[in-house]
Amino acid sequence: MNRLNTLFDTKKDLLSVYFTAGFPQLNHTTTILQALQDAGVDFVEIGMPFSDPLADGPVIQKSSTQALANGMSLQVLFQQLAHMRKTITMPVILMGYLNPVLKFGVERFIDKCAEVGVDGLILPDLPFELYREKYHELFESRNISNTFLITPQTPPERVKMLDENTNGFLYMVSSAAVTGAKTGLNQFQLDYFHRITAMGLKSPRMVGFGISDHSSYRQVCQHANGAIIGSAFIKLLEQSNELTGDIKAFVASIKS
């Protein structure tokens, strides 16, 4: 059990927010993290910027490019998060691509996550088979949750397999497209949510991709444990002149 598991056991209608480490400015990571907690977000996903983020839409790609230009790296990120647990009590997840983790060293990376108080990882391009063969015991021994993604096209057998092997949650990608804020949910997405609910899975489920406002947040909360917002929040950061106040207002607009 870690902070993430405890959260899912005690709360519903969760709101998670994704932001890119080192964006808009290199030193904004902990400022944004604290502001999100103070605003009432349930947990955060901090994006580890990568030069070739294939699953990300243009908004998050742009933020990743800017963060790298600002000087963000895994080493810098761990330095920024070194003392976060002095004030941050909510679960914190790192999300990104496998290549930088491999370059950093997987065991070293997991050890640093445990050292600074990271609760879980989302590595969409980490093959399930590789995770099971090489890294499962490492994650478990450091009490780091691993979250898998499913889409409307994921076969039921694979959904069940991922459900049985995650110690975090299932990230329900709301469509097969790249990330990006959209308006409303269509019938295809709703049918997908109903189909997954009917499977009676053991793991908590969070819906991401295309969640951008109060209406879409409330819709997905009827079919999952909560919603993840990314691109809409990155746009806010890009335009903000006063991060703390603007973040508070943004979160209030989603939840109220």
Name the token pair of 149. Answer: 């993604």
The values of phi and psi at residue 224, to 5°, are -155, 180
56 in catalytic set: yes
Residue 216, phi-psi category: left (phi > 0), alpha (psi -120 to 50), beta (remainder): alpha
CA dist 64 and 122 (Å) reads 16
Task: Please compute, for residue 73, the number of CA atoms within 13 A of its CA located in the half-sphere on the CB side.
Answer: 5
CB 230 within 8 A of CB 179: yes
CB 8 within 8 A of CB 219: no
CB 212 within 8 A of CB 231: yes
**Catalytic one among 42, 56, 119, 163?**
56
Instruction: Tell me the chain's radius of gyration from C-alpha atoms.
Output: 17
**Catalytic one among 9, 42, 45, 107?**
45
Name the token pair of 132. Answer: 């099971």
3-class DSSP state for residue 95? strand
Active site residues: 45, 56
